[in-house]
Amino acid sequence: MTTTEHPAGVASRLAPAHERGTPGFRRLGAALWLSGMATFVLVYSVQGLLPTLSAEFGVSSSAASLALSATTGTLALAVLPLSAVLESWGRTRVMTWALGVSAVLALLAPLAPTFEVLVVVRALQGIALAALPALSMAHLTHEVAARHLGGAVGLLIAGNTLGGLSGRLIATWVAEFGGWRAGLAAVGAVSVAATVLFRVLLPPATAPTPPPTRLREVGGPLRRHLADPGLLCLTGMAFLLMGAFVTVYNYLGFRLLAPPFALPGTLVGLVFLGYLAGSWASTGAGRLGDRFGRRPVLWVATLLALAGIWVTVADMLVTVLLGLLLVTVGFFGAHSVASSWVGRRSALLTGAVPAQASSLYLVGYYAGSSAGGAVGGIAYDQAGWLGVVCYVSALLAGALALALVLRRTPAPA
């Protein structure tokens, strides 16, 4: 049986889209939840180890953050070309290979003899993972009934949330007793297990594989995406929101290890339990966006994060944790709504490709993680936690401004 591609870039189907509650929907949700978890385990496991790496290799807090920024930076650079070209190889196959190669690199990272080598291995992981996030969102766009897409993307992001939490906690706790190398080795083992389960659970695709794409053919659809002000606003929001969020989690550990808190490393690692609230927020915000509209949910979530960062100013552990909780809920709520919005908006653009729209959004997302987090380190080195609060507030204010511009942006014809 042959298949075709509609001019609007939305593939025709071999079978109906998965409806919520069906076995296919549950398997697809579980598999992509695992892919999101594995991605964030691999990318963000070093975040809780940044103070340890700083002390171990004798580098500043902003330099230590390169262990994270190298991965997110190369991912941001590679996500658009790789996802566009590799989608024609089959989304299922490419996602499996991306997870497998990055898991092997995760097992090699603990063997790095110097900080520079560790940064190089982490950069290669970013390239290996580059196609995975965009293809995951595109796969959901093709495979899930449109009315359930917001909730399904929320489930994918919930996997991201748990992965970010698990990677940080596992690496931090194991490193407390066995050193940072043991912590990263444990993360590598978890990523291998997640890869195997992902491949077992992922159901066969119902949508056809798109025809082969060459890099020179990416320009036309990309120009259509870049000409749409709505997609540009959403990509800009991804950059600003992620830059703010990563900055908070990158440098809060340094603050809590120092006076007046002076907490032990194992307790500092527990702050990442705030990610559990993000898991709830991403799924809930996706469903609220489907029901009440994305704009109001996006505004409320971003305002919540902005309020939360100022709650962390007081030198009281309770208020710091409360503020961190508000920042986490606000960020994941806004990210869930914005990322599901990208796929739907792209589907309305003539000649656009949903995977490429997701890639464009993720360029902003991971570039924000890389550049935003690195600049946040300079703010922390120069002005302490208050400098971080002011910097994060500026990023969130920019995201709110883009949300207001988005309000006045009509849907594509």
Mean pLDDT for all residues in the chain: 83
Q: What is the pLDDT of residue 25?
A: 75
Structure tokens at 283: 């799924």
> Rounded to two decimals, what is the model's pTM?
0.77
The pLDDT of residue 3 is 32
Position 217 scores a pLDDT of: 59
pLDDT at 373: 86
pLDDT for 5: 32
Residues of the chain below pLDDT 70: 1-21, 84, 86-88, 146-151, 155, 206-221, 286, 290, 347-355, 410-413
Phi, psi of 7 (to 5 degrees): -60, -30
**How crowded is the C-beta side of 261, counted as CA atoms within 13 Å?**
22
> What pLDDT shows up at residue 182?
96
Give the SS3 label for residue 202.
Answer: coil
> Are the C-beta atoms of residues 265 and 176 closer than 8 Å to each other?
yes
Structural domains for the chain: 23-208+215-407 (1.20.1250.20)
d(Cα 15, Cα 395) in Å, to the nearest integer?
43
| pLDDT recorded at residue 344 | 72
Contact at 8 Å (CB) between 75 and 102?
A: no
